[in-house]
Structure 1
Amino acid sequence: MTHTSSVWLVLLAAFVAANLPFINERWLAVWPRQAPKTLWMRLLELLVLYALVGALGIALEQYAGQISPQGWEFYATTASLFATLAFPGFVYRYLYRHRG
């Protein structure tokens, strides 16, 4: 896998994972829930999925070569990017008027 394709894979995985908590009512899209998820549960799920996408990125970086050390700036930037990627799902869940 080339560097370019691994970057696009991580970006695609981040977009899907960031919108997943807002699109469905299942916990991590696997386990069903009896009651609807609250906003706090969705944000917690968003943090878990952020960590999973980060683990995918680290695994792909390890596959490509040596892992570069990262400071807090990297994690602040990627968390902001992840929150920005979650915006369409948030709008669909909380701001879009559903008919019916």
Structure 2
Amino acid sequence: MNVSLFSWVVILLAVIAANLPFFNQQLFALVPLNKADKYIKPIWIRLLELLVLYFLVGLIAYFLETSIGNAFPQGWQFYAITACLFLVLAYPGYVLRYLRKRHG
């Protein structure tokens, strides 16, 4: 596979992972937290999921980069920028979960 395809795979994976905590009420979309009908996952669990998924996407991207060739060393600036980008990618899910006005 080529580098361009790997780049798009990582971007698509980041978009899905960034919005995953906001579109369901389960932990990592797999583990049900409570059996109640109207259980709403607290924001701190969603943010913790977001942090774990950020590192998971970063790990997958690192493995894809090493499969292409040598992995480049990154400084703190790289991680600060990618964390901010991950938060920007999570914004649509946040808006739909918390800022959208529900009628009825």
Do the two structures share a fold, i.e. TM-score over 0.5? Answer: yes
User: Post-superposition shift, 1:37?
Assistant: 1.1
Structure 2 distance, partners of 1:55, 1:30, is: 20
The corresponding residue for 2:53 is 49
4+ residue stretches of structure 1 with deviation over 3 A? none
Structure 2 distance, partners of 1:67, 1:90, is: 33
Q: List aligned pairs for 1:14-53, cutoff 5 A.
A: 14-34=14-34, 35-53=39-57
What 5-or-longer segments of structure 1 have no aligned partner?
Answer: none
Q: Which amino acid aligns with 1:30?
A: L
The corresponding residue for 1:6 is 6
Match of 2:70 among 66, 74, 94: 66
Structure 1 distance, partners of 2:10, 2:22, is: 20
What 5-or-longer segments of structure 2 have no aligned partner?
Answer: none
The corresponding residue for 1:87 is 91
TM-score (norm 1): 0.97
The corresponding residue for 2:79 is 75
Query: Which digits, 9 at most, give the CA deviation of each residue in 1:40-77, with x for residues without a partner?
Result: 11000000000100011001001000111000000000
User: Post-superposition shift, 1:98?
Assistant: 2.3
Q: What is the total number of aligned residue pairs between the two structures?
A: 100
Structure 2 distance, partners of 1:64, 1:37, is: 39
Structure 2 distance, partners of 1:63, 1:36, is: 40
